[in-house]
Structure 1
Amino acid sequence: MTDFQAAMDRDFGVIAELIHLHAHEASERPALVDGARELNYGALDALMDRIAAGLQRDGLRAGDAIAICAASSVNYAAVFLGALRAGIAVAPLAPGSTPASLARMIEDAEARILFVDAATAEVIGDAAAAGVPRIALDGCEAGQALEAWLAPAGTRPAAVEPQPASPFNIIYSSGTTGEPKGIVQGHGMRWAHVRRGAKYEYGRDTVTLLSTPLYSNTTLVVFFPTIAYGGCVILMPKFDAAGYLKLAEQHRVTHTMLVPVQYQRLMAHSAFDAHDLSSFRFKFSTSAPFNAALKADVLKRWPGGLIEFYGMTEGGGTCILEAHLHPDKLHTVGQPAEGSDIRLIDESGREVAPGEAGEVVGHSAGMMVGYHRQPEKTREAEWFDPAGKRFIRTGDVGRFDDEGFLTLFDRKKDMIISGGFNIYPSDLEAVLREHAAVADVAVIGVPSEQWGETPVAFVVRRAGDDTAADALLQWANAQLGKTQRLARLQLIDELPRSAIGKVLKRELRERDAAR
């Protein structure tokens, strides 16, 4: 048995130490590629040592935090991993946030050092986090150049021994519903993600293409297993369908994580079928609703298995749909993963009867420690069963079928109550997608004097289509039940989305209110 196999057999391990084992066993094997640069495991291990030692030299101790706000790159990944080797938590921040929001996140994380690149430094400005030292990942003038900041070559950091509850990273919620909250994930949570990787054939020959950002948990649930098992990660700083397909074919990619809107754009690309994608073993998706018709198209035209993860960055259990094994369940998000206890509760916090809908709550080994410095928000996110078992509330409404597959209806906050009836926007969106003119759609609830709330649709038409809004509205309402009918339908060029593809319904509500 190799040292790596022995490490993976343990109930808990440290990802940063696995990289040291890979560097010892196969130092020349590629680990990270970003288009401009490639780093093998030997070089990555040595760079991580210099980063960890540099942080310790600057007075950071295990349990402290740094922040990274930059586009995905080899240096970004190396700093993240090097900080973990020193037992330091990483707060990866979204460059698309406002300067004020970034300043609040940096302050909330109590970040001791901020790592940036030229583009994000310009967005942040000089005023935000003015007292926090800045290191420039790309050597720009926004801070001290990374190469100059590093500890000398050959320096080894002082050893640390993280525990399962030790903070691994602080992921800030996307802010789609308001002020971002810092979700503290422990080393034990990430180790649970790594250990389930064996089921999806991660190994030394894995080549993973990632076009979602490294600040997103969506990306990290695939990034860390790839590196932990000794595979190679291809980082794509900005997604475009043509570029993605070219890289996938060139590097003989085996694994990938994509959000549904990226699958949509890839499958619609005119050159999709001309590319050789036969090397793929598994494709993953999470973070946003993935409609059944799109899943079916991916299964038909793209080799390899298709896995949909349903869960929250906060943890608390996962449902997994192995779409290639259950083509009759594409309307669901799958069954609870091994070790996940998923239940449904009503408004009073009581479990619902079998077959009834309720809010999804979950428990697993992979749960957040809590929201950083926000104990009240943490308590709001928790539910305890009568025996005192801790669950995380998702805010999603769903129902289990007789085989234990979970169908989601909507976010609880997005549910529309019109004239006393519950209307799920996802039901209305599914109907509208059946029209040949509709490329994308989102439905929101808006205030109504007569009904309390009433549904309004925002529709993106397919390229070249000129179907009028009134015609689409009449067609949709003819298909919908009396209580579901749309009050208005508005044509829009593009739905507002976060960087990982979530529709920003808050922005649509604001747009409708301004109207």
Structure 2
Amino acid sequence: MSRSERSAPVSDPREPGEPRLLPDLLAQSARRSPESVALDFMGRSMSYAGLAARVERVARALQDLGLAPGDRMCLCLPNTSYFVILYFAVLRAGGIVVAMNPLYTEREMGHVLADSGARLLAVPDDRDIHAKASAAAGAAGVRRIIVCPIAAALPPIKGIAYRFLARRSILRVPNDEFHLPYRMLERATGRPADRARDPGDVAVLQYTGGTTGVPKGAMLTHASLIANALQMRDHDRGLPSTPERVIGVLPMFHVFALTTVLNYSILTGAEIVLLPRFELDSFLKTMARTRPHRLFAVPTLIGKLNEHIGPHTPGFKRLRCCISGGAPLPPEMLAQFERHTGIVLSEGYGLSEASPIVASNSLTEKGRVGSVGRPFPRTTIELRDLDDLSRTVPAGAAGEVWVSGPQVMRGYWNRPEESAEVLRDGFLRTGDVGRFDADGFLFLVDRIKDLILCGGYNVYPRVIEDALYEHEDVLEVTVIGVPDPYRGEAPKAFVRKRPGSAATADDLRAFLTSRISKIEMPRDIEFRDELPKTLIGKLSKKELRGD
């Protein structure tokens, strides 16, 4: 059965006067409200006019550095004003943004940089992050590293305190041709050259496991990302239309925050309150100081807040809505948050390949418990028969979720065969299994992919498995996701050791420390004499999951 809020998909999401390219979002808001606050980073604010001016200078500097149309620049940055400026500057210069998690290991960074062919890389002036990124960049052929000083982005007093307290971790920028201090970019003069760009051109490479667990770049175009922001605006019709203040604690290197916190806020002229990461005390103080109207969260964050907030916690009374995504939201966690705050907590559903939102519950009315809501505006969702993908299934029956809409990616970067596998007949195969109820609410009941949704992050079992296989005492290994009360899911590894090996679970975790990130570290490692296999001898996960 096919469900959609519109009877026919719309091929072009834009109406006359709507933005064509992502930099148009900023240009239009800067013209409408030049003195309005665009960014607040730890108390240091920047107006829309100031942000737009900086983007123009930095875009010119990037062109002077040789960034040509279609060239890739990797942003390995936490949520700071640098990320926002460089994001729009790369796009204004005609380039493509590659967003990368600063917590990645050197190996993971190397894969993203080499696969994307990034020419430039931006990193914070953190010694540990720089050490990993610079080593990976050298091997991947990156030409220049832009170093962004955190203290300079803070209010003056906080900047002084940061330089003192974090002095041992702050990088002294090497004086060589490979590195460039960020301040040099803002010294550029003249406006950037206008590059011929089309809304269908790739704007962002968002790395995801896709259907195989091997990270690959989803090609998100200007049109697809703008479409999702416009779809959000249509979905929000029941809320006040006045400019809002949005707290941005989710990382913008993840597409959930990139669309909801950054693109949508700039489209609507909202103020973005940036936090570099989630730390409970800092988050609560920022909520009390800024009193935001909108919060985007993952279940891990919601669960943590439930332990510490109540009906009178400062900063929550002005919230108009809160949206949870990135992982399944336990019903009790949702109910507890709503009791504490008195606002509706809306759960949605999306994936990197769809920019990312494809369905959501109402932002003003209580949704169906356990449902991810109805299809987004101008989005068609079909449930295909698991045994015959040419057929759809009726309401109440489970099927594979197929999505069609203007927010769907163009394909995977340099992977035509895998692109053809997931993009069929104008639809995106999600690899998820769901069912519709009689009123068109979508319920996700299973995942075809082995992807583990861990605290809002994608964790790929193969990455962990490949790392464990490097240990000399590991003969076979399978990694699955298991329920976790805090993160939603957590990785668990099943290992068959070499006979006579004395390796312990702690030994294997110590071995993994330099090979995978903390979020990927298995919560449990269980040793077994034999691991289940299929009839043709492949390791099987379904017996371990209890399927």
1:220 Cα deviation after fit: 1.0
Instruction: Please tell me whether the aligned partners of residues 107 and 129 of structure 1 are also in contact (alpha carbons under 8 angstroms).
Output: no
Match of 1:102 among 91, 109, 122: 109
> Please, which of 124, 142, 145 is the counterpart of residue 134 of structure 1?
145
1:332 aligns with 2:346: no
Give the aligned partner of residue 124 of structure 1: 133
Partner AA of 2:138 in structure 1 = A
Amino acid of the structure 1 residue aligned with 2:207? Y
Q: Helix, strand or coil: the match of 1:218?
A: helix
Partner of 1:213: 251
Uncovered stretches (5+) of structure 1, i.e. residues with no partner: 1-6, 385-389, 416-424, 427-443, 445-452, 463-495
Q: Is the 8 A contact 2:399 2:434 kept in 1?
A: yes
DSSP-derived class of the 1:379 partner: helix
Native 8 Å contact 2:290 2:315 kept in 1: no
**Structure 2 CA distance for aligned equivalents of residues 356 and 461 of structure 1:** 31
Find the aligned partners of 1:305 and 1:8 in 2 and give their Cα distance: 31
1:317-466 mapped onto 2 (5 Å cutoff): 318-322=358-362, 324-327=364-367, 329-345=368-384, 346-354=386-394, 355-384=396-425, 390-413=426-449
Q: More displaced, 230-239 or 15-24?
A: 15-24
Confirm or deny: 8 A CA contact 1:288 1:502 kept in the other structure.
no
The equivalent position to 1:158 in structure 2, one of 184, 193, 199, is 193
SS of the equivalent of 1:360 reads: strand
CA shift in 2, pair 1:275/1:9, >3 Å: farther
SS at match of 2:138: coil
In structure 2, the CA distance between the partners of 1:46 and 1:460, relative to structure 1 (3 Å rule), is closer
Say yes or no: does 1:90 pair with 2:90. no
Kept in 1, the 8 Å contact 2:360–2:373? The answer is yes
Match of 1:195 among 230, 233, 236: 230
> In the alignment, which residue of structure 1 is the partner of 2:204?
169
Give, as a single letter, the amino acid of the residue that structure 2 aligns with 1:347.
D
For residue 285 of structure 2, what is the amino acid of its counterpart?
Answer: K
Letter paired with 1:402:
A
Structure 1 Cα separation of the partners of residues 485 and 277 of structure 2: 23
Give the % identical residues.
Answer: 26
For residue 461 of structure 1, report the CA deviation from its aligned partner: 9.4
Aligned length: 430
**TM score, norm. by length of structure 2:** 0.71
CA distance in 1, matches of 2:342, 2:88: 32
Aligned to 1:237: 276
What letter matches 2:526 in structure 1? D
Query: Does 2:521 correspond to 1:512?
Result: no
Shift of residue 182, structure 1, vs aligned partner: 0.6
Instruction: Give 1:10 deviation, angstroms.
Output: 3.8
Q: Match for residue 11 of structure 2?
A: none
Matched-pair contact (CA < 8 Å) for 1:50–1:157: yes
1:308 shift after superposition:
2.2
Compared with structure 1, are the counterparts of its residues 274 and 408 closer, same or farther at alpha carbon in structure 2 (3 Å cutoff)?
same
Who is 1:486 aligned against? none
Mapped partners of 2:95, 2:241: distance in 1: 27
Aligned AA (2:430): T
The residue aligned with 1:387 is none
> Alpha carbons of 1:459 and 1:224: their partners in 2 closer, same or farther (altered >3 Å)?
closer
Q: CA deviation at 1:127?
A: 4.8
**Distance (Å, rounded) in 2 between the aligned partners of 1:344 and 1:353:** 6
Q: Hey, what's the Cα distance between the residues in 2 that align with 1:86 and 1:251? A: 33
Q: Using the TM superposition, give the Cα deviation of residue 75 of structure 1 relative to its aligned residue in structure 2, in angstroms.
A: 1.2
Q: 1:13 aligns with which of 8, 20, 44?
A: 20
Secondary structure of the equivalent of 2:370? Answer: coil
Which TM-score applies when normalising by structure 1?
0.76
Question: Which deviates further from its counterpart, 172-181 or 227-236?
Answer: 172-181
* Residues 1:171 and 1:457: Cα distance change in structure 2 (over 3 Å): closer
| Aligned equivalents of 1:58, 1:105: Cα separation in 2 | 21
Q: What CA distance in whole angstroms lies between the structure 1 residues aligned with 2:297 and 2:397?
A: 31
Superposition deviation, residue 27 in structure 1: 2.4
Q: Which amino acid aligns with 2:406?
A: A
